[in-house]
Amino acid sequence: MAENALKFLESQPLVFALIKILIVFAVLSGLVAYLVYMERKVLAFMQARLGPMRVGPWGLLQPVADGIKLLLKEDIVPAGADRWVFLIAPAISVAAAFTCFAVIPFAGNFFVSDVNIGLLFVLAVSSLGIYGIILGGWASNSHYPLLGALRSSAQLVSYEVAAGMAIVGVLLISNSLSMVEIVTNQQKMGVWNVFLQPVAFVIYVIAAVAETNRNPFDLPEAESELTAGFHTEYSGFRFALYFMAEYTNMVLVSCIAVTLFLGGWLRPFPSVRALNILNYMPPVALLGAAVFIVWLGRQSRVAMERLFFIGLAVVLALLAGLVAIPVVLNAIQGVFWFTAKVMVFLYAFIWYRATFPRYRYDQLMNVGWRVMIPVALANLVVTAVLRYFLSSHGSASPAARLIGF
């Protein structure tokens, strides 16, 4: 019956695409909501605090409470603001961030769409998100939001150039703009692009942190200088939309980094048979999470919380048993490894926030224009020269085979 249902969906491409869009939207919305919770918890542990603990067991229902609170808060529009631009600006940023996931391959057989210019589509659509910040800052009719919007636009321009040059180095190796093809090419070579383009990888990661306005590059919303930056005059649900766009962009740039440099849905070293034991990591990870939750439950002094954690641990243990079935294990391999790599990047975003002090604005621009862009350009030139010489000598050499020429 399941096979018949799958064949029916595949025969109805629009329906199948709509279902995949709904799945991606639902999962991404939940991830963004709990990413805020994760950030508050991780920062609390790094600072010897507990973080959210009041709403639900161990504060797990805090994102739900935050969402309800923001929905019920009054939506204030400043008297001198351009009303319609002010209202629509946050929606532009959110729409641009979510649209980009249409071409992200979460696994070899799970993606909304595979277009031959997928990477170009991501770069083009994600760049539109800056209009939401600029329009929101300008329409607020206030000095602090305007300065934050101007900072954000200058920051995006400077770091998007460096990020684009870093990505071109990957394109020279992959010979494709398709996100799926870039991962497939890494599978054929048996090596991730991060080992062939380490300089481009470092440049892209730094540029991604700057583009998403995260510490230490959160100058557009620097509380000590601009109160809250471009969203100072926003409240209620529209205030939440800006944060939703920011955290969605964090997930997006992490997905792009994983796809371009870290093999996408491929497990580490997929061509090394000695490491095939890594294929059993999904059930092992679920069992590890169950053990951690049991330990966490034992720390609670509330009986209901202990019961909740024990029940959650039992559910995870049952899921581990289900995932251990070979058919299921093979089906979720791609999604598991892709998600695990993305979570590492998201943890790094939080780690940076707790570690590095904020740059001054002149330092930010100097790093972007005087360091990042020249280094990215040099890396691009070296990659192009190596590609030319290796291709001109044919594909017989090991080095040429390694980088796919």
Pick 146 or 11 by higher pLDDT. 146
Q: Considering only CA atoms, which of 20, 10, 12, 171 is closest in space to residue 110?
A: 20
Lowest-confidence region among 26-35, 139-148, 212-221, 273-282: 212-221
What residues does 107 pair with on adjacent strands?
110
Q: What share of the chain is helix, strand, coil (3-state, %, to 5)?
A: 75, 0, 20
- Give dist(CA 96, CA 342) in Å, integer: 20
Would you place residue 251 in the very low, low, confident or very high pLDDT band (cuts 50, 70, 90)? very high
- Give dist(CA 140, CA 132) in Å, integer: 12
- Give dist(CA 46, CA 353) in Å, integer: 11
- Look at residue 137 and tell me whether its pLDDT is greater than 80: yes
pLDDT at 87: 87
Compute the C-alpha angle 131/374/365, nearest 5°: 45
Compute the C-alpha angle 66/237/349, nearest 5°: 60
Each domain of the chain, given as residue ranges in start order, spans 1-66, 73-266+370-405
- Look at residue 79 and tell me whether its pLDDT is greater than 50: yes
Q: Can you read off the two tokens belonging to residue 389?
A: 């010489």
Would you place residue 15 in the very low, low, confident or very high pLDDT band (cuts 50, 70, 90)? confident
pTM score, whole prediction:
0.89
> Mean pLDDT over all residues of the chain?
85
Lowest-confidence region among 13-17, 224-228, 399-403: 399-403
Would you place residue 121 in the very low, low, confident or very high pLDDT band (cuts 50, 70, 90)? very high
Which residues, 6 or more positions from 134, have their beta carbon under 8 angstroms from its beta carbon? Answer: 149, 152, 153, 230
Angstrom CA distances, 21 to 30, 112, 113, stand at: 14, 6, 10
Report pLDDT digits (tens) over 27-76: 898 888 899 999 999 999 888 888 888 888 888 889 999 888 888 888 88
Would you place residue 397 in the very low, low, confident or very high pLDDT band (cuts 50, 70, 90)? very low
- Look at residue 208 and tell me whether its pLDDT is greater than 70: yes
- Look at residue 11 and tell me whether its pLDDT is greater than 70: no
Would you place residue 225 in the very low, low, confident or very high pLDDT band (cuts 50, 70, 90)? low
Pick 172 or 213 by higher pLDDT. 172
CB count within 10 Å of CB 372 equals 24
pLDDT at 322: 92
Angle between helix 281-299 and 326-355 (nearest 10) = 60
pLDDT at 228: 65
- Give dist(CA 159, CA 364) in Å, integer: 10
Q: Report the Cα–Cα distance between both ends of the chain, in Å, rounded.
A: 45
- What percent of the chain is modeled with pLDDT above 70? 91
Which residues, 6 or more positions from 139, have their beta carbon under 8 angstroms from its beta carbon? Answer: 81, 82, 85, 86, 89
Report pLDDT digits (tens) over 321-336: 999 899 999 889 989 9
